[in-house]
Structure 1
């Protein structure tokens, strides 16, 4: 089997190009991975992971390399270019972060988040999107939901625009069952659900849905953060710490517009009553 670094595809994957270039420039300078780690303030294992394509070079660390090796911005330009390209594997990668997260914060402006969907709602959403195998997609989604019921589940915090609970995906009966499911989940000790009502007017969340996945549960984060931002033809995975931190600020600003947990339950109940 080829070593991970030799299995990279720099011709078709811009992040692999960054990894390969880092390795080439390091070897040309007769430097070890430990030498690069000293420049970047990282562990040698992290540099190894970057060169193998398992981790990504951040913009900040790209700048450090450019300064240390006098590359006139070479690595920062490469990272910017890699970030600007769509990677079809981002969604799959985001699920790996989701499985390992201790805290998940999801904001949705259009749909009930996949982690808390019921089957009928999910199938209706797949069919609306033109999926050719909605049953398989539901099996995959249901498997994802198992993290909420394991022995040590992640803390799940959900913010929903009011439009999400009003849109009758799958019809009235399906939507009422979905809303009932949200109410049930909101009483679990590891789930917080809040809705941003229409009367709050415009808010930052209208720019698009996103999900923050974190290795730790507190506001003082000591592990990794990963963000998956939704988009019509495929979302974007963000692992750069500085860029991920921007989404924590965005989350707080959206949350400032949301109802309390109790107020959210009352709004969901009144929405269900109006549908029947």
Structure 2
């Protein structure tokens, strides 16, 4: 990575963030260490962010904005930075999530990324490759900020009961993940249904898929392969997946009964109390 004196703010969102952080810090007359002390991070980390060697988090950005009086500029920028850290083939999907007014998804065997806890996300991302795992985990979790917008999208998810029993990250991680799902019961915009094993053959046997609906643009269907994304607005494909989703919702448990199944799996399989 280039030295800070030659850092090109136009090279990437991460470089631009580092350039802006240094500019604001120097304008405030603070060293990296002094700023770190104020925001409760090390001066070394501040330096790594300024040289685009470390990806900033939303929490870091909020603290620095408050300390330097930037008017929230870094907090607004960090979303773009984190999105740029996603795999290139997935960035279009993150844009769809950010623009959609309604998202409907069916997941075969795991919890959707928009509902994952940090530990669960880290376990799934680190299965094969642990390179840059902290940054990749932060980038995935940053997608969940769409639920903090003034008008967040309605989110409907149906996932197979298998997702409750596929032990990702260990028993403690699974318990926390299922408990996290239960926390959405009071949010009318985030609706979780479980497709029980007893449903037998169902309309989603071909695989997971997601429907993105917009205020004025056509609905888009997204499916995913290994290292590739497949969004399409083909009317035939969209109509097929809309019909499939209707059947999946009809075959799934109600939101209330789904919560009871999740709670039962959490307590029976992963223990009522953390070890």
Note whether the superposition's TM-score is higher than 0.5: yes
SS of structure 2 residue aligned to 1:268? helix
Match of 1:271 in 2: 265
1:130 paired with 2:129, answer yes
In the alignment, the residues of structure 2 paired with residue 138 and residue 178 of structure 1 have an alpha-carbon distance, to the nearest angstrom, of: 15
Q: Which structure 1 segments of 5+ residues have no match? A: 1-87, 217-221
Structure 2: stretches of 5+ with no match in the other structure:
1-86
2:221 counterpart of 1:227: yes
1:121 and 1:175 in contact (8 A); partners too: yes
The answer for the alignment partner of 1:252 in structure 2 is 246
Partner of 1:139: 138
With structure 1 as the length reference, what TM-score do the two structures score?
0.63
Number of the residue aligned with 1:42: none
C-alpha spacing 1:256/1:129, structure 2 compared with 1 (3 Å): farther
Question: What is the alpha-carbon distance in structure 1 between the residues aligned to residue 163 and residue 259 of structure 2?
Answer: 14
Contact 2:157 2:191 in 1 (8 A): yes
CA-to-aligned-CA distance 1:228-257 (integer Å, 9 cap, x gap): 102234231112233222211111121121
Secondary structure at 1:264 match in 2: helix
Query: 1:194: Cα distance to partner?
Result: 0.2
Q: 1:113 to 1:100 in 2, by over 3 A?
A: same
Q: Post-superposition shift, 1:223?
A: 3.4
For the Cα contact (< 8 Å) 1:91–1:236, is it kept in 2? no
Matches within 5 A, 1:76-225: 90-216=89-215, 223-225=217-219
CA contact (8 A) 1:91 1:237 kept: no
The Cα offsets for residues 121-154 of structure 1, whole Å up to 9 and x where unpaired, read as: 0000011142422211111112110001221100
SS of residue paired to 1:132: coil
Distance in 2 between residues matched to 1:130 and 1:238, nearest whole Å = 29
- Secondary structure of the structure 1 residue equivalent to 2:104: strand
Once the two structures are TM-superposed, the CA of residue 104 in structure 1 deviates from its matched residue by: 0.4
Structure-1 separation of matches of 2:131 and 2:205: 29
Q: Call closer, same or farther: CA 1:176–1:117 in 2, change over 3 Å.
A: same
Question: Aligned partners of 1:91 and 1:138: how far apart in 2?
Answer: 14
Checking the alignment, whether the CA contact within 8 Å between 1:90 and 1:236 is kept in structure 2 is no
TM-score (norm 2): 0.64
Distance 1:131-1:250 versus aligned 2 partners, 3 A rule: farther
Against the structure 1 CA distance between its residues 138 and 206, is the aligned structure 2 distance closer, same or farther, given a 3 Å change threshold? same
Taking only aligned residues, the RMSD between alpha carbons, in angstroms, comes to 1.6
Correspondences of 1:64-75 after superposition (within 5 Å)? none
